[in-house]
Structure 1
Amino acid sequence: MSDAKYYIQKTPFVVPTDDGKYIGEHFGKASDGNTAISIAHMIAPPRWSEPFQTPEFDEYTFIIEGKKQFLIDDEPIILEAGQSIKIKAGTRVQYSNPFNQKCVYLSVCQPAFDFNKVHREEE
């Protein structure tokens, strides 16, 4: 980035996935090298889920459309559009969309998302 007072992100880094989930990182380690924070636009398809993980970063999620389920230490929490959650670093969590509609949301990680610090469990 230059010394400009602002930067408009027009081409987020699209994380390759094999489960139908869209991850467009606007700011973060993969997109602009920022290790302090990451901001990503996410779309989870219907019936999507991923393994449990215990990340080394805080993760904030804001639901824009649809619903998303969080299993935190086996406690199911369902968020709907307009709701948000902060999950603290070191918390064991599973993210999923067990519903019949896509879920569109924003994810903010602090420090930035890092595949080496997410600690996903084997399925």
Structure 2
Amino acid sequence: MKKYFIQKTPFVVPTTDGKLIEEHHGKVATQNEAISIAHMIAPPGWSEPFQTPEFEEYTYIIKGKKQFIIENETIILKAGESIKIEANTRVQYSNPFDEICEYIAICKPAFDFTKVHREEN
């Protein structure tokens, strides 16, 4: 039995907002409930509703900028910067800028749509 697994075919999460989500490891891609790792590309003008996830989320920006509204504070990260957001924190993710934002998202435990608690618009 091998002591490693190389992911060559990540699960592409279907979206309707133009965002690319490639889950390399996580509940869907590898049935790993402890952690998820996803490569994301958010187009200019993209945003999600506020949410209060039951998991920690780490974000590392590869290219562009990403806006976070955490509780009532607006934070903008640029390429080369990262952030950890604690579980059960109200947050909104967006890319209100005129260029794509490419980033890696890591959730611990793994991203679970039933535990993200997105607000209705």
Find 1:90's aligned residue among 82, 88, 91.
Answer: 88
Give the drift of 1:5. Answer: 1.2
Spell out the pairing of 1:52-63 with structure 2 (5 A cutoff): 52-63=50-61
Segments ≥4 residues shifted beyond 3 Å? none
Instruction: Describe the superposition over 1:68-111 as per-residue Cα deviations: whole angstroms up to 9, x where unpaired.
Output: 00001121100000000000000000000000000000000000
1:6-32 deviations in whole A, cap 9, x for unaligned? 111000000000000000000000101
TM-score for both structures, normalised by structure 2: 0.99
State whether structure 2 residue 27 is matched by structure 1 residue 33.
no
- The SS at the match of 1:29 is coil
Q: Percent identity?
A: 72
The Cα offsets for residues 29-84 of structure 1, whole Å up to 9 and x where unpaired, read as 01010000000000000000000000000000000000000001121100000000
TM-score normalised to structure 1 length: 0.97
Residue 69 of structure 2 corresponds to: 71
Q: Distance in 2 between matches of 1:93 and 1:119?
A: 11
Candidates 16, 25, 28, aligned match of 1:18:
16
CA root-mean-square deviation: 0.5
Aligned counterpart for 2:112 among listed residues 111, 114, 119: 114
Q: Which residue of 2 aligns with 1:48?
A: 46
Unaligned runs of 5+ in 2: none
Q: 1:81 aligns with which of 79, 82, 93?
A: 79
Q: How many residues align?
A: 121
